[in-house]
Structure 1
Amino acid sequence: MWKSWKLHTDVRVREGAGGSPCASSQPGSRGPCFLPGLSLQELSRRRQFLREHAAPFSAFLTDSFGRQHSYLRISLTEKCNLRCQYCMPEEGVPLTPKANLLTTEEILTLARLFVKEGVDKIRLTGGEPLIRPDVVDIVAQLQRLEGLRTIGVTTNGVNLARLLPQLQKAGLSAINISLDTLVPAKFEFIVRRKGFHKVMEGIHKAIELGYNPVKVNCVVMRGLNEDELLDFAALTEGLPLDVRFIEYMPFDGNKWNFKKMVSYKEMLDTVRQQWPELEKLPEEESSTAKAFKIPGFQGQISFITSMSQHFCGTCNRLRITADGNLKVCLFGNSEVSLRDHLRAGASEQELLRIIGAAVGRKKRQHAGMFSISQMKNRPMILIGG
């Protein structure tokens, strides 16, 4: 099925919100789309001015170890149309009452504040972000924030093919699609729902619309899908995919144990046995992935080594949950409610002090896989990944 996909390689010039063409034809590059109505010359002069007069990075988003947090992940909803085994228990989880979830305006208010302080990348997560009715409008509003270079989404892909043309027009520039198996029957077992072919259609649509790379997130679990490592890697031969193999991580309700985890080293050895010529790619700053490429292949593979080789030292990520809590570490259980302070009428400076205090308390690194497995934390679906 995968090899029958037709790839469209024509370059489309996208239009910004003001109707003027974007300078960049690559969805992975925002170009001037986030400043609609300005000519290319005006944009060039503005960027040059900003480079020459750049302010120091926000002290509020810099922790006590000097890590600058320029990447914000915002969960749009706790709801999901799948029930992935590693994300939530089969019976589901108690959901936060709607009145306690962030409103659209509250999401945009917080995003505006973080971008003003130096955040240049926002990723929308969930739950499943694409089941939120106003997700396209949220992307369009974020796209207007000056200084925001990347708007990404992490999705299970079920609704992606239908919504992606609108999302791309609104300004979505990066896509991560969760897919843990290439076998339809196994897909239904892992996610406890149907939808395999819709996810495939979503990946196809992302490639068709020019997203490069299309990132595919695969959580590898022993006894379940570790036998598909080579099949996933082979997809990158003719497709612009970045297949990201993720070590299985412990969260409430996913029944994690060490024996289920397949380590980065084991996964890498498996791929190397098939492709000894596998090349290590340079690591990008603050990247969580160790990237490799098989010579001659169009795409690449990566490994997210959260458990066996943490990347805490270069972490630049902050998370806001759907109910408005700021989490400074995915594996930490410390949270502070920005929602409550917003609704109490906190000023921008008061919010910044609260954010700065939370960031300042961020630890040097997480506690390690065995301590994490015993720690009380939210199920993944209530964090937002």
Structure 2
Amino acid sequence: MVLFSKSVPALRGLRSRAVSYEGGSYLLSSCKAAGSSDHYATCAKLSEDPVKESSPSDMLIDSFGRLHTYLRISLTERCNLRCQYCMPAEGVELTPSSQLLSQSEIVSLANLFVTSGVNKIRLTGGEPTIRKDIEDICLQLSNLKGLKTLAMTTNGITLARKLPKLKEFGLNSINISLDTLVPAKFEFLTRRRGHEKVLESINAAVDLGYNPVKVNCVVMRGVNDDEICDFVELTRSRPINVRFIEFMPFDGNVWNVKKLVPYYEMLDKVVAKYQGLQRIQDHPSETAKNYRIDGHHGTVSFITSMTEHFCAGCNRLRLLADGNFKVCLFGPSEVSLRDPLRAGAEEDELREIISAAVKRKKAAHAGMFDLAKTANRPMIHIGG
């Protein structure tokens, strides 16, 4: 089979091979990219036709054969920052607390997913660390049989003092969001203070042995694109994985294509300054393009949600704080798991609801200009 790419010339007409990985089928191929023998890309493409037959008992497999083993759980809609791309300055209307999932409901639904094959859970928000029961949630989730990874994405404001206990209770992977290394710019972007607290949390994570400590940076033209190489320096002597994320359109930010810095442009900045940049082989369901720089202890990644989507290998599902289930970050479709759970639904009934939603998942999300016009929740509600 031949793969085609409009965005990367080196991938045009590239031959691929079929492989199986953890129950899923993928089309993979390695190729020299960007004219450098050091750069390799992993490519994946779904068949245009859905899989004709799949096990009806497996609720995690969609109609295109994608196995979903990764569940993102938003623990709260609240946040102690007001990041410009995440929510309006005045905030957003919050769901009444009585309509949010309780700790026991979160654990119950998580257990349902894990017993069905999910092996990774990521806790998001809002800001997950502001939940008073965050330690207990981590402890209960980490004890679920079959769960291999319990991760969290956090803004790092209150993380440093809580992280030792969170690690003790089973949190074994951490992503910390930081879009600038300049304190004044941090206040502009987040509309709050706390830059030094985020740096403290990154240092605490390194000291506690998290490897890698992932630092998420949303890159915006004219705002922080001049700091790309400054962020790369964080990887020089510490096990930090800096993840540069393309600016994405969501309710809560004003979508302006001029703000988008494409992956290849970010990469060019890194290539221009650093020698020995090497492409790292990606996991089939990896969302990032990963690189290592000779002599650096950490790594650099690029998440190309807008310019080169990774829908073909998507293995992610989302459970929102209000109990709604979402199969695609960029799709508006949701179904409530909270309501049937509170109505006393049996596990088999919940599995049927989940399975039906997963089967309706589309092959790929819309293009970035269509996404900008699509009605969707603010990022603060979805959790990324």
What range describes the TM-score normalised by the shorter chain of this pair? 0.7 to 0.9
AA aligned to 2:131 is R
**Displacement, 1:234?**
1.2
1:358-380, Cα deviation, whole Å (9 max, x unpaired):
00000000011011000000000
Unaligned segments of structure 1, at least 5 residues: 1-55
**Aligned-CA RMSD value:** 1.0
1:171-196, Cα deviation, whole Å (9 max, x unpaired):
00000000000000000000000000
**Displacement, 1:343?**
1.0
Aligned to 1:243: 242
Q: CA separation in 1, counterparts of 2:163 and 2:143?
A: 19
> What secondary structure does 2:241 align onto?
strand
1:296-319, Cα deviation, whole Å (9 max, x unpaired):
100000000000000000000000
**Displacement, 1:235?**
1.2
Aligned to 2:211: 212
Aligned to 2:177: 178
Q: CA separation in 2, counterparts of 1:310 and 1:103?
A: 34
Aligned to 2:162: 163
Q: CA separation in 1, counterparts of 2:89 and 2:382?
A: 17
Aligned to 2:328: 329
Q: Is the 8 A contact 1:280 1:293 kept in 2?
A: yes
Q: Is the 8 A contact 2:275 2:294 kept in 1?
A: no
Q: CA separation in 1, counterparts of 2:318 and 2:133?
A: 20
1:303 and 2:302 correspond:
yes
Q: TM-score, normalised by structure 1?
A: 0.85
Q: For 1:58-137, what aligned pairs fall within 5 Å after superposition? A: 59-137=58-136
Q: TM-score, normalised by structure 2?
A: 0.85
Identify if the C-alpha distance between structure 1 residues 356 and 57 changes in structure 2 by more than 3 Å, giving closer, same or farther.
Answer: closer
Q: Which 4+ residue blocks in structure 1 deviate beyond 6 angstroms? A: none
> What secondary structure does 1:60 align onto?
coil
> What secondary structure does 1:153 align onto?
strand
Unaligned segments of structure 2, at least 5 residues: 1-54
Q: CA separation in 2, counterparts of 1:252 and 1:245?
A: 21
Aligned to 1:144: 143
Q: Is the 8 A contact 1:236 1:299 kept in 2?
A: yes
Structure with greater proportional helix content: 1
Identify if the C-alpha distance between structure 1 residues 114 and 57 changes in structure 2 by more than 3 Å, giving closer, same or farther.
Answer: farther
1:233 and 2:236 correspond:
no
> What secondary structure does 1:239 align onto?
coil
> What secondary structure does 1:78 align onto?
coil
Equivalent pairs: percent with the same residue? 64
Aligned to 1:14: none
1:213-244, Cα deviation, whole Å (9 max, x unpaired):
00000000011000000000111111110000
AA aligned to 1:358 is A
Q: Is the 8 A contact 1:73 1:122 kept in 2?
A: yes
1:104-142, Cα deviation, whole Å (9 max, x unpaired):
111001000000000000000000000000000000001
Aligned length, in residue pairs: 330
Aligned to 1:259: 258
Q: Is the 8 A contact 2:114 2:147 kept in 1?
A: yes
